[in-house]
Amino acid sequence: MRPVAALLLGGLISCCGSGGTASAQAAETSQSVAAPADSVRPDDAPVRPSHAMDSPSVLFAAGVFALVEAYDYPYSVGVTYVARPMTTWRLAPGAGFAVGPDGIAFLYLDLRRDFALGERWYVTPSLSAGWFLNGDVIGPRDHLEFQSGIQFARRFDNGLRLGLAGLHISNGGLEHPNNGTEAVLLTLQVPLQK
């Protein structure tokens, strides 16, 4: 009887021991699975990528002021300061200037908005109004001129955007004749904050 009792007792102990080990392992597994969820804090939530350039930036542009052979395609170089987007419409105000040969200059206030085309491409319509000096007449005849434009740009990992912009400058029909001009520019937009 004693060997049989010892055998039964040994089997019971080994059965309970492995069951205890298995239950301990299951408890450890459930704790390790539950631990990451317990350690996540609300402020650790991933930040969604922005669709616009949220910091102020400077936009450099260079190209042709007038796409007309009769004007001999005068050059244009300019700089625009673009402020941080505001309002729920994410409109970014700005101010800038452009200059060309023979005294051509345009000083303007600007309003623009970015629209994302995927992760790296953007289309940005803009509207400006300002003071135009037409040194060597290229089309616009009045000092008060409006500029409407659209820019296509690609954002790089360092935040720079390289793009191409098409612009139209005219008096918006305030005076007649409403002479205007079209410009095509290469653009480089540089964020002022990282």
Q: What residue segments make up the domains of the chain, in order of their start?
A: 2-44, 57-191
Picking from 185, 178, 147, the residue whose alpha carbon sits closest to that of residue 64 is 185
Give CA–CA dist 66/167, Å, rounded: 10
Count of other CB atoms within 10 angstroms of residue 194: 6
Give CA–CA dist 105/97, Å, rounded: 7
Give CA–CA dist 104/166, Å, rounded: 18
The per-residue pLDDT for range 73-114, each reduced to its tens digit, is 788 999 999 999 998 899 999 999 999 888 888 999 999 999
Over residues 156-163, mean pLDDT: 93
Count of other CB atoms within 10 angstroms of residue 119: 8
- Give the E-state strand segments of 35-160 in sequence order: 57-64, 75-82, 92-99, 105-112, 115-117, 121-133, 144-155
Q: Which two tokens stand for residue 178?
A: 């409403």
Class of domain 57-191: mainly beta
The per-residue pLDDT for range 2-13, each reduced to its tens digit, is 554 454 445 545
> Are 167 and 194 spatial neighbours (Cβ–Cβ below 8 Å)?
no
Confidence of residue 22 (pLDDT cuts 50, 70, 90): very low
Reply yes or no on whether the pLDDT at 172 is more than 70. yes
110 by Cβ neighbours in 10 Å (0-12 / 13-18 / 19+) ranks as buried
Reported pTM: 0.68
* Cβ neighbours for 49, distance < 8 A, ≥ 6 positions apart: 119
